Amino acid sequence: MNITSSDLAQAVGTAAQVRPGARMAPLELAVVLPTYNERKNVATMIERLGKALEGISWEVIFVDDNSPDGTSEEARRLSQVDPRVRCIQRIGRRGLASAAIEGMCATAAPIVAVMDADHQHDPALLPGMLQAVSSGEYDLAYASRFAEGASTEAWGRPDRVKVSGLANRIANKVTGVELTDPMSGFFMLRTETLRADAHRLSGVGFKILLDILATVDRPLKVKEFPLNFAARAEGESKLDQTVVFEFLVGLYDKWLGRIIPTRFALFGTVGALGVLVQLGALWIMLHLVFSERFVYGNWSESATFNVANTLAAVVAMTFNFVLNNELTYSDKRLRGFGPLMRGWAQFGVTCSLGLLTNVGAAAVLKTIGLHDVVAVVTGIILGSVWNFALSSKFVWGKY
């Protein structure tokens, strides 16, 4: 029996809502749209995709990181009456690159595209890109903001154009990938190409296209499509604040990530900054707070040192918690007063072993006559190994 869209409509009693052209032929193309707070763009994107992809059998997959604005609910609402619409709602996760990878791995379509959901990418390029990839002539098609015939004028962000230009040059040098816009978030390839190397993609920070090009061993034949990069339709950019940081993290991950894992390197860097904070706090306490002019002047020198160093370590611990929450674990960031206080307390508890090691080792080393700085730094190194192991599991590791 052939089921038509009007049969479907009758069955669910929503004739008016079933979109014409719902899939009756084998799936040709999946469009993955990573989303975070894009509720207002969901329906209009589906509409534009429908127009651009007429005559093509396609589906769209929203990969939403549990956006507080209800993007997932909106996608599911439309999905109920349009089988071309799917939604992956990720809980306790953040990250554009990993969302794109999960979306691309979740389709049965032989070819997959990734686009921004905010209307900055023109869906009208999709049929041409599909033609280039499905004909077998090219392995990958992508839309470039900087190719001949492209423009970024409508974007209205000359500052971001400059950052992108610089990032492109660095990326070209480090990865050897020569494209006019390797940071583009709009591209298409065969899903089997992606799947073959999905486990080797870094999925952090990096723009996913560059990640793919730098990861796949054999060179991919790439076709460039000039893009008129538009201004965002609704909502606001999530990458404005972090675009430089994400870029550097991605670059590190591709470059040295296999030797020292990126997260550990970030944790270590934050820890190193914490060392400076602890030394600074210790200096302030020894010279200003616990100085002879104050009531503690009659404490023994080593007692004063241990009390001051313990307090300095607590200051550094708080500093590390804030920075790790913002940077190292930005994909699992704790938000709001309650979760932050709980996280800080948990960080304190899980680090208390580290803190004991830290302060204890410093005290022992000091009594055997080592210099204050050597004693403190050795304590910090020993303590931070504990801190990383425990906090990544108990403070940010719930998921």
Shortest Cβ 24–ligand GDP spacing (Å) = 29
Contact between 184 and Mg ion per CB under 5 A: no
Query: Mind giving me the DSSP string for 56-80?
Result: S-EEEEEEE---TT-HHHHHHHHHT
CA–CA dist 173, 158 (Å, integer): 23
Residue length, the chain? 399
Residues binding ligand GDP: number (CB under 6 A): 21
Q: How far is CA 176 from the centre of its chain?
A: 23
Shortest Cβ 203–Mg ion spacing (Å) = 19
Contact between 120 and Mg ion per CB under 5 A: yes
Contact between 19 and ligand GDP per CB under 6 A: no
Query: Mind giving me the DSSP string for 279-312?
Result: HHHHHHIIIIISSTTSGGGGS-HHHHHHHHHHHH
Contact between 262 and ligand GDP per CB under 6 A: no
Shortest Cβ 222–Mg ion spacing (Å) = 22
Q: Determine contact, residues 169/194, Cβ cutoff 8 Å.
A: no
Contact between 59 and Mg ion per CB under 5 A: no
* Three-state secondary-structure class, residue 189: strand
- Please compute, for residue 68, the number of CA atoms within 13 A of its CA located in the half-sphere on the CB side: 2
Range in contact with ligand GDP (rule: CB under 6 A) among 62-70, 133-141, 174-182, 190-198: 62-70
Contact between 94 and ligand GDP per CB under 6 A: yes
CA–CA dist 207, 253 (Å, integer): 12
Residue of 120, 397, 344 lying closest to 238 (CA atoms): 120
Q: Determine contact, residues 347/395, Cβ cutoff 8 Å.
A: yes
Q: Which does 76 bind (CB under 5 to 8 A by kind): Mg ion, ligand GDP, none?
A: none
Shortest Cβ 342–Mg ion spacing (Å) = 33
Contact between 63 and ligand GDP per CB under 6 A: yes
Contact between 230 and ligand GDP per CB under 6 A: no
Residues that bind Mg ion (CB under 5 A): 116, 118, 120
Residues that bind ligand GDP (CB under 6 A): 34-36, 38, 63-65, 94-96, 99, 116-118, 120, 185, 232, 237-240
